[in-house]
Amino acid sequence: MTAGVDAGPDGRIVSVEERKVWISRRRDVGRARELIIAANLDQVACVFSVARPTIKFGALDRLLMAAMSSNLPAFLVLNKVDLGIPDELQERLSIYPKIGVDVLHTSVESSLGLGEFEDRIGGKATVLTGPSGVGKSSLISRVLGIEIRTAPVSDHNEKGKHTTSAVTWHPAGEGTSIIDTPGFRDWALWGLDPQELASCMPDLAAEISNCKFRDCLHRQEPGCGVLAAIEQERIHPLRYRSYLGILESVLERQERDR
């Protein structure tokens, strides 16, 4: 269900509103198709956890790109901070506020950061998306005081068990709603050409007007503004490495879909 679809008290869909803005990714299985996660929302909360499972920055960067390409504000919710944040994570996380992505530290376990999270979602329609097992449903359940099914992550690989199986819209009064979504294994981008990728990363986007070639992919092209910015330390090498990984996967898919 998407925000804007009102299922009546007996569960029937009584109206379907126009889809104005949405966030989508590529379907995991079958032929190349768009999977719309949620529509008519105001912002995207990218939920990850410090451990069990550990945050994957490639997935976070893809998610942020999908939000940016839909013109949706996004922020990071780093959950399970009660488990402790290792130094190397801390360092990498410090990149995000510098590129305009707020980082909220939360713990459903210790209640840390939940007030701040509530402030962020007040009066808005917010979709929570992230890998399985990071605590999306737990957060919603706690903040709204409702029962939602959650389940422990698996002990042997520390991955979630894909507990939530459908998108659910939880209205919470005064224009606030939270959309819970099934956790993903991988966030594959949909509808972005290789040449468009850098424009969906704010730190790279700020530099691409300096590229000599309009179709620059920012790899080894002469006169590349992105490469110059890395040299001048305006772009973090880890963000650039992430970009290269994403570019590679999009190019590969394009090749396979042909």
Ligand X SMILES: Nc1nc2c(ncn2[C@@H]2O[C@H](COP(=O)(O)OP(=O)(O)OP(=O)(O)O)[C@@H](O)[C@H]2O)c(=O)[nH]1
Q: Which residues bind Zn ion (CB under 5 A)?
A: 211, 216, 218, 224, 226
Work out how close the CB of 180 gets to Mg ion at its nearest, in angstroms, rounded to a whole number.
Answer: 6
Work out how close the CB of 107 gets to ligand X at its nearest, in angstroms, rounded to a whole number.
Answer: 4
Report DSSP letters for 84-145, one per residue: ---HHHHHHHTHHHHTT--EEE--TTT-TTHHHHHHHHTTSEEEEE-BTTSSHHHHHHHHHT
- Side-chain-side CA neighbours of residue 178 (13 Å): 25
Pick between residue 138 and residue 243 the one whose CB is nearest to ligand X. Answer: 138
69's contact among Zn ion, ligand X, Mg ion, none, with CB below 5 to 8 A by partner kind, is none
**CB-based closest residue to ligand X:** 183
Pick between residue 72 and residue 217 the one whose CB is nearest to Zn ion. Answer: 217
Pick between residue 28 and residue 248 the one whose CB is nearest to Zn ion. Answer: 248
162's contact among ligand X, Mg ion, Zn ion, none, with CB below 5 to 8 A by partner kind, is ligand X
| Amino acid in position 42 | D
Q: For the CA atoms of the chain, what is the radius of gyration? A: 19
Work out how close the CB of 44 gets to Zn ion at its nearest, in angstroms, rounded to a whole number.
Answer: 27
Please report, as ranges, the residues that interact with ligand X according to CB under 6 A: 79-80, 82-83, 107-109, 132-138, 150-153, 160-164, 182-183
Residue 176 CB coordination number (10 Å): 18
CA distance 126 to 175: 11
CA distance 109 to 80: 7
Please report, as ranges, the residues that interact with Mg ion according to CB under 5 A: 136-137, 163-164
Report DSSP letters for 88-105, one per residue: HHHHHHTHHHHTT--EEE
Pick between residue 142 and residue 239 the one whose CB is nearest to Mg ion. Answer: 142
Pick between residue 96 and residue 117 the one whose CB is nearest to ligand X. Answer: 117
CA distance 233 to 251: 27
User: Looking up tokens 């005064």, which residue turns up?
Assistant: 174
152's contact among Zn ion, Mg ion, ligand X, none, with CB below 5 to 8 A by partner kind, is ligand X
Work out how close the CB of 140 gets to Mg ion at its nearest, in angstroms, rounded to a whole number.
Answer: 8
Residue 12 CB coordination number (10 Å): 8
Work out how close the CB of 207 gets to Zn ion at its nearest, in angstroms, rounded to a whole number.
Answer: 8
211's contact among Zn ion, Mg ion, ligand X, none, with CB below 5 to 8 A by partner kind, is Zn ion
User: Looking up tokens 């459903």, which residue turns up?
Assistant: 108
Query: At 200, is the secondary structure helix, strand, or coil?
Result: helix
Pick between residue 50 and residue 211 the one whose CB is nearest to Zn ion. Answer: 211
79's contact among Mg ion, ligand X, Zn ion, none, with CB below 5 to 8 A by partner kind, is ligand X
Work out how close the CB of 217 gets to Zn ion at its nearest, in angstroms, rounded to a whole number.
Answer: 7
